[in-house]
Structure 1
Amino acid sequence: MPPAAKALLAQLAGAAGALVLARNGWLTGLWPLVGAQAGLAAAVAFGMGSARWWLPIHLGFLPLAVVALQLGIAPAWYLAAFVLLLLVYWTSFRTQVPLYLSNRPTAAAVAGLLPARPLRLLDIGAGTGSLLRPLARARPESRFTGVELAPAPWLIGRLLCAPLSNIDWRRADLFAPAWADYDAVYAFLSPVPMPAVWAKAVAEMQPGSLLISNSFAIPDVQPERIAEVGDRRGTRLYVYRIPSPTDSGR
């Protein structure tokens, strides 16, 4: 079941459960009813195997909606917030890839993992280019490509990356470009697309090239190494080397 459908079903189940409790006289008052709906929605979502980050969303959705209604906020502000979130997160509900920004310590760690020769690196889901800009300045002899689909991060990245001639900034889905011409691909996504990322990397990238994943390991694939960034996030970089076609680990 798609995550959005799971979320809707959980909210409806929470509302139905709270209504049953209220009709049987086990709940009285607005906030006990709201709390019951939120708790039941989170429990249903957990039972359906929703990602853990959905649980606080279910717990907070109806309570925050009630508070917002009581504050009497003008409808235009809700529309503005919706449009802003849409521009930032775009298809996150489908891809289950939120906006993550790589920090400078991570960029420095990635630079240390790359070969010293001139190379081509692709950042899939590049956000605002926070990884590519430090790399492009440190490695002017190399070429860097960033792809981002969400309009707001893409536009910010386009403006920030414009002064750097060795960055190619594109608006595209992360799986749209061919990966065959890149010596390394960097991903900071989520656990959900990682099997598909590995499948595309093995199918298209040259043997010996690198796939570097920030924070999210590829299931059932042993990384060549795990690099500890040492930042406050406790970031880990999972480094995979693309096998040859004859390699049994392909």
Structure 2
Amino acid sequence: MFAQLAGWACAIVLARAGWLPPGIWALAGTQALCATVAAAAMRSARWWLFIHAAFAPLLIIAGRADIAPAWYLAAFALLLVVYWTSFRTQVPLYLSNHATIGALAALLPVGRSVRVLDLGSGTGSLLRGLARLRPDSHFDGVEAAPAPWLLSRLLARAAGRISVRRGDFFAESWASYDVVYAFLSPVPMARVWSKAAQELAPGALVVSNSFPIPGRKPDEVVAVGDRRATRLYVYRVTDGRASK
């Protein structure tokens, strides 16, 4: 928001000073450039720079397209039920692929039933894949966004031994789980480890897809071998509630 406001302030000042050629596109282009520079100065993520550069021009294009307002409301509603509070948690919707499911299944303890918790389980694709590979075990997921949660609930009916709840996974107890899987973002990983270390039993695993826990050396790093070069960072809880 600050970057966009700074971009508009810069563009308006330059326009009023007569330093910009007439026309809306000169104003929008200057705003886009200034907003992108402001975002870069604030060390925003690289992908945000593209959003800031395209935001004002897309506003003008949308305004001239004469699209009925109801379509914008429908698009907003769709994004809301899919992504929900991603703006607060800074955890987007990531889906684990088949290669990752196989690699995670290979990490599960053998010879006994295990309980696995998927933090932010999305559409439940990981849970269903693990349930097929390990029908002796139980798999739980916690998802906040309504649309992915509802879809995962519907698809899990035929899979068996899967439970999907809607809510905040940090508000849940993790004490009964042998493995906690996370495909989140760098932002919550320190908090994930803090909760895991407090609640999980000794020997339990925390497996993070792509995002290592800051300040901790993983016990194992698994290269999945898929096209996106996925890595699973594996951490073993040593003494449960005392390990941080």
Partners in 1 of 2:68 and 2:241 — Cα distance?
Answer: 63
Partners in 1 of 2:102 and 2:56 — Cα distance?
Answer: 42
Correspondences of 1:74-85 after superposition (within 5 Å) = 74-85=68-79
Partners in 1 of 2:192 and 2:46 — Cα distance?
Answer: 22
2:207 corresponds, among 212, 215, 218, to: 212
Structure 1 unaligned spans of 5+: 1-7
**Pairing 1:130–2:125 present:** yes
Residue 201 of structure 1 aligns to a residue whose secondary structure is: helix
1:23 alignment counterpart: 16
Partners in 1 of 2:169 and 2:25 — Cα distance?
Answer: 43
Residue 168 of structure 1 aligns to a residue whose secondary structure is: strand
| Structure 2 residue identity aligned to 1:9 | F
2:147 alignment counterpart: 152
Partners in 1 of 2:202 and 2:155 — Cα distance?
Answer: 33
Q: Is the 8 A contact 2:199 2:240 kept in 1?
A: no
1:173 alignment counterpart: 168
Correspondences of 1:213-232 after superposition (within 5 Å) = 213-232=208-227
C-alpha distance after superposition, 1:222-250 (max 9, x if no partner): 00111111111111111111121597x63
Identity over the aligned pairs, expressed in percent? Answer: 61
Partners in 1 of 2:114 and 2:133 — Cα distance?
Answer: 13
| Structure 1 residue identity aligned to 2:175 | A
1:71 alignment counterpart: 65
Residue 141 of structure 2 aligns to a residue whose secondary structure is: strand
Partners in 2 of 1:174 and 1:65 — Cα distance?
Answer: 36
Partners in 2 of 1:143 and 1:245 — Cα distance?
Answer: 21
2:198 alignment counterpart: 203
Correspondences of 1:30-41 after superposition (within 5 Å) = 30-41=24-35
Q: Give the length in aligned residue pairs.
A: 242
Moved more, 22-31 or 113-122: 22-31
Query: Alpha-carbon deviation of 1:104?
Result: 0.7
1:187 corresponds, among 155, 165, 182, to: 182
Residue 234 of structure 2 aligns to a residue whose secondary structure is: strand
1:112 alignment counterpart: 106
| Structure 2 residue identity aligned to 1:191 | P
Once superposed, what is the RMSD of the aligned Cα atoms? 1.4
Structure 2 unaligned spans of 5+: none
Query: Alpha-carbon deviation of 1:202?
Result: 0.5
1:60 corresponds, among 54, 58, 68, to: 54
Query: Alpha-carbon deviation of 1:53?
Result: 2.8
Partners in 2 of 1:156 and 1:42 — Cα distance?
Answer: 37
| Structure 2 residue identity aligned to 1:133 | R
Partners in 1 of 2:237 and 2:191 — Cα distance?
Answer: 14
Partners in 1 of 2:225 and 2:51 — Cα distance?
Answer: 30
